[in-house]
Amino acid sequence: MDFTARFLDWLAGLPAGWLYLAAAAVLATEVGLLAGLVMPAASTMLTVGFLAYAGRLDLTTALVVLTAAALVGDHVGYLEGRLVGPRLRRGWLGRRVGDRRWDRAEALVAARGGRAVLLGRWVAFVRTLVPRVAAVAGVPYRRFALFNAAGVLVWVPGTVLAGYLAGASYSRLTGLAGVAGAVLAGGAGLAGVAMWWRRRRARAAASRGGPCAGPVRPRRSPLRSRSWRGRPARNRRPHPAGRARHREPADR
């Protein structure tokens, strides 16, 4: 079991109040801290939505708490980029992030400007780096706040509601599992029995040397499989009619 699965199991076992706080901490630290690259924010929001459908959490409270936490984390990341600047990438933790991820975030900000904050919200790892890169690139705070709010207000509720709808679909599927499972299991069982019986008859027929189940195409002899057309031209005997047809006329 990997880190994400163990974390989600631990999260689902918490009381409601602590679960809100733990989920909010995940969303805030994913962008607020550079080390938050490893935080499973999307999986956490899906789990929260699923638990809200199950009645463990209040859906409205979860949406408000997680949206606020994501906004706080993004602004902390932007502030860190303003204060530290390019030294973030040259630091020990920045080097651990990898040049490829930094280059991807910088290219997105260079090409899109403030809109990169909105677009980067949907890409893992990039949403952690884009607020810092935008601050270093000189994107104005108001522009950053506008696009960031637009992205968060779509990303967080959309992901939580996806988990909520997944819980609803899961409950419907489990309700139909009895009938559907019986039908599928019965069909699979019949198909397995039919295949076993056909193979058993084929093995029995082969052992007796008699006919087996199903039509069998006769094997052609290797001596008869060669057509007369494959013989050399000198061995062919022309047909008498053909010989007469190609005979040259006699001289008159």
196 in a structural domain? no
Asked if residue 104 is part of any domain, the answer here is: yes
Q: Is 61 part of a structural domain of the chain?
A: yes
In a domain, 231, yes or no: no
Tell me whether residue 160 is in a domain.
yes
State the Cα–Cα distance between residues 86 and 215, nearest whole angstrom: 77
Task: Tell me how far apart the alpha carbons of residues 32 and 206 are, in angstroms, rounded to a whole number.
Answer: 73
Per-residue pLDDT of the chain (252 residues; tens, 9 = 90+): 577 788 888 888 899 999 999 999 999 998 888 777 778 888 899 999 999 998 999 999 999 999 999 999 999 999 988 888 788 888 787 787 788 888 888 888 888 878 888 888 888 788 888 888 888 888 899 999 999 999 999 999 999 999 898 877 765 544 444 434 434 444 444 454 455 556 656 666 666 655 444 454 555 544 444 444 444 445 555 555 555 444 555 544
Q: Which residue's entry shows tokens 């139909």?
A: 176
Residue 203: the pLDDT is 66
pLDDT digits (tens, 9 = 90+) for 69-101: 999 999 999 998 888 878 888 878 778 778 888
Answer whether 63's CB lies under 8 Å from 156's CB: yes
Into how many domains does the chain fold? Answer: 1
Residue 118 is assigned to a structural domain of this protein: yes
Q: Are 67 and 157 in contact (CB under 8 A)?
A: yes
- Six token digits for residue 156: 């967080």
The residue type found at 90 is R
pLDDT, position 238: 54
The pLDDT value given to residue 212: 47
Give the per-residue pLDDT at 217: 53
Identify whether 33 is part of a domain: yes
Residue 15 lies inside a defined structural domain of this protein: yes
